[in-house]
Amino acid sequence: MRTVAVLGGGIGGLAASYYLCKSPQVTKVILLEASSRFGGWLWSTRRSDGAVFEHGPRGIRPAGAVGSNTLNMVDDLGLAEEILPVSYSHVASRNRYLYVNGQLHKMPSGIRPAKTHRLKLADIAVDSLCRGVFAGDCRKLSVRSCFPVLYNAEQHRGSIVLGMLLGSGEAQVISRGPLAKRSKKESWAQWSLKRGMQSFPEAIAENLQQSGRVQLHKEAVVKQIDPSASGWQVHLEDGVVSADHIISALPAKALSSVLPRSCQPLTQQLQDISSVTVAVVNLEYDGAILPVMGFGHLVPSSEDRGLLGVVYDSVPFPQHNRPDGQTTRLTLQQDCIPQYYEGHFQRVESMRGFIRNNNLALSLTGSCYDGVSVNDVIFSGRTAVEELLGTVV
Ligand SMILES: Cc1cc2nc3c(=O)[nH]c(=O)nc-3n(C[C@H](O)[C@H](O)[C@H](O)COP(=O)(O)OP(=O)(O)OC[C@H]3O[C@@H](n4cnc5c(N)ncnc54)[C@H](O)[C@@H]3O)c2cc1C
């Protein structure tokens, strides 16, 4: 494998490039990002007074193989000193709320329903979970694709509750580095970084730059990709890049719009993966005004269809506060969370089948396929590289 072009410089494309760099089998990696910044949805505003506002992910979970995998990368990037851990005993981990009937109810024990209302409350909890993670509609989302841990728990143990107690039968084994071991020992529930999540893609980009093996291009919009005798021609606004293989970490619709006509069935299936748009409003207040302390509250669709919930960032990460002042920020994140509707798993299998059957030198990675969390996206980048090279990186 000589040259690999990675399309999209969000965390998925950066992770794929990072793992490609670890292999001597790859001579050159070309990372192409349309915007003027790497990191995609990992986006933080850092004010000169030290306050940090997150416009995308605000916390990453250390649990499971994918959580350890991310922490191993954080270690390798030299970011261990920047970590802000939140333990399971922290109030932000213990207290999560639902806003129902105009009141905050602590989960899971806060609402004490009559028997006849239990089913309704289970519905509310699932509805809120889908809204909290996918900003989506629980009637349309696929449990298998959206919550594989729940699905596997149910499959392996015959019951979701038993599965959660005994383990989900997670197949991947990732050895824990020092930071992942520390997270286990100190019982972390989530973590962030002192200068915000954006520090993570910044550190990966710097690491890639220093490796001398990756050409990093910002403001490089991929317009079209065409098969060539040895792989692909990637057309940009101002030139053409040749590559033996492409790893696409583009949103599915963006990839569908650059594929050649010969990939029509794949193009159609990519277009069928929808995304939702979410508005993130960062509010800053003087003093302590929260009525309760905790992670935040979710709002079920029966209460307010337009509002997903409120995250009390100052509780888990007070380090991101500033001493005083008031600010309101609104960012509209267009098409930011892919929706894994019923049939998503089969659709992704079918797309990868098309690629295999047509011997396309193309890998699909990023949040549109194998999980939307930062951990899942990073792991998906690693898996794409390992499958390409036929070896563990
Ligand atoms: C508001 C919000 C909150 C979230 N909260 C959490 C959280 O708390 N915890 C968690 O684990 N996850 C969270 N997530 C999910 C997680 O952040 C995303 O799933 C993940 O960052 C997606 O990464 P990606 O690389 O797949 O995609 P993206 O970040 O979308 O990256 C794709 C990149 O491709 C580029 N691109 C597009 N078209 C082209 C083109 N034609 N040519 C070249 N480049 C192109 C884009 O500019 C972009 O940089 C959240 C997401 C959002 C939006």
359 and 305 together in one domain: no
22 and 122 together in one domain: no
Scanning the chain, the segments in alpha helix (DSSP H) are 11-21, 64-76, 91-94, 115-134, 143-146, 148-157, 160-166, 178-185, 199-211, 252-256, 264-271, 344-357, 374-389
- For residue range 122-178, what is the model confidence (pLDDT) as tens digits? 778 788 888 888 888 888 998 788 888 777 777 776 665 555 555 555 557 889 999
Q: How many angstroms does the Cα of residue 122 sit away from the middle of ligand 1?
A: 30
Q: 390's torsion region: left (phi>0), alpha (psi -120 to 50) or beta? A: left
Domain boundary among 338, 356, 381: 338
Q: How many angstroms does the Cα of residue 301 sit away from the middle of ligand 1?
A: 25
Distance of CA 117 to the CA centre of its chain: 34
Domains in the chain: how many in total? 2
Question: Is there an atom of ligand 1 within 6 Å of 296 CB?
Answer: no
Residue (of 18, 19, 20) closest to 2 by Cα position: 20
Q: How far is CA 376 from CA 48, 57, 67, 243, 359, in A?
A: 32, 13, 8, 26, 26
237 and 361 together in one domain: yes
Least confident of 211-215, 236-240, 305-309: 305-309
CATH of the domain at 37: 3.50.50.60
Tokens, residue 238: 């101002």
Nearest CA to ligand 1 atom 36: 8
For residues 198 and 42, is the Cβ–Cβ distance under 8 A?
A: yes
Atom of ligand 1 nearest to the CA of 220: 43
28 and 94 together in one domain: no
226 and 312 together in one domain: no
Q: How many angstroms does the Cα of residue 304 sit away from the middle of ligand 1?
A: 26
Question: Is there an atom of ligand 1 within 6 Å of 371 CB?
Answer: no
Is residue 345 in some structural domain? yes
351 and 260 together in one domain: yes
* pLDDT score for 163: 53
322 and 232 together in one domain: no
Is residue 252 in some structural domain? yes
332 and 214 together in one domain: no
Burial state string for 108-126 with b = 16 or more CB within 10 A and e = fewer than 16: eeebeeeeeeeeebeebbb
* pLDDT score for 172: 72
Among 11, 33, 41, say which to mutate for ligand 1: greatest number of ligand atoms within 8 Å of CB. Answer: 41
Q: How many angstroms does the Cα of residue 95 sit away from the middle of ligand 1?
A: 28
Tokens, residue 4: 């690999």
Is residue 318 in some structural domain? yes
Tokens, residue 256: 């569908």
265 and 345 together in one domain: yes
Least confident of 27-31, 176-180, 228-232, 249-253: 228-232
217 and 355 together in one domain: yes
Atom of ligand 1 nearest to the CA of 38: 49
244 and 121 together in one domain: no
Is residue 169 in some structural domain? no
Half-sphere exposure of 216 (CA within 13 A, CB side): 24
Q: How many angstroms does the Cα of residue 42 sit away from the middle of ligand 1?
A: 7
Query: Which range of residues forms the domain containing residue 202?
Result: 3-57+194-273+341-389
* pLDDT score for 170: 59
258 and 346 together in one domain: yes
